[in-house]
Amino acid sequence: MADDVLTTEEAEQFREKVRSFLAANTVPAADFEQQKQFQAKLAEAGLAGIVFDREYGGAGLSKAHDRIVREEMSKFPTMNNEFIISHGMCLPVLNDFGTEQQKKTFMPDNIAGRTLWCQMFSEPGAGSDVASLQTKAERDGDEWI
């Protein structure tokens, strides 16, 4: 990841890039197809997966860049509701704990909106307390059950 410090000029130039992109590409009440298209355009513009490495489909930028994107997105109609869990929870877990092969295989499609991931949040006895989930996978020959 890049350094987390931007000069005022760098921050303003990046903010204007984000603002211009959002002004040209957001619509009120976007449906799922529009959100997928938006995510693809966001990736093409280098504005998706801000803090994730370029080799995994991210922008390879800093947390300072990410803050600017989030600040500017808050001023426009939400265009990525369907990707909030996928990008906010699942993607960071894969980035932090996945193998190199998993990252290279799965992250680019997710960042560009070609795939959508989910995370299980509930099971009997645990409710939505993710730390208390008991479900596990066990190897059975060549399969997991």
Q: Taking the domains of the chain in order of start, what are their residue ranges?
A: 8-129
pLDDT attached to residue 2: 55
Q: CA 51 to CA 56: how far, in whole Å?
A: 11
pLDDT attached to residue 124: 84
Residue 57, classified by CB atoms within 10 Å of its CB into exposed (0-12), middle (13-18) or buried (19+), is: buried
Superfamily of domain 8-129: Acyl-CoA dehydrogenase/oxidase, N-terminal domain (1.10.540.10)
Q: Does the pLDDT at position 67 exceed 60?
A: yes
Share of the chain above pLDDT 90, in %: 75
Q: Does the pLDDT at position 1 exceed 70?
A: no
Question: 106-133: per-residue pLDDT in tens?
Answer: 999 999 999 999 887 788 888 888 788 8
pLDDT attached to residue 123: 83
pLDDT attached to residue 3: 65
- Sequence-ordered alpha helix ranges (H) in 27-145: 32-44, 63-73, 84-85, 91-97, 100-111
Q: Tell me the whole-structure pTM to 2 decimals.
A: 0.81
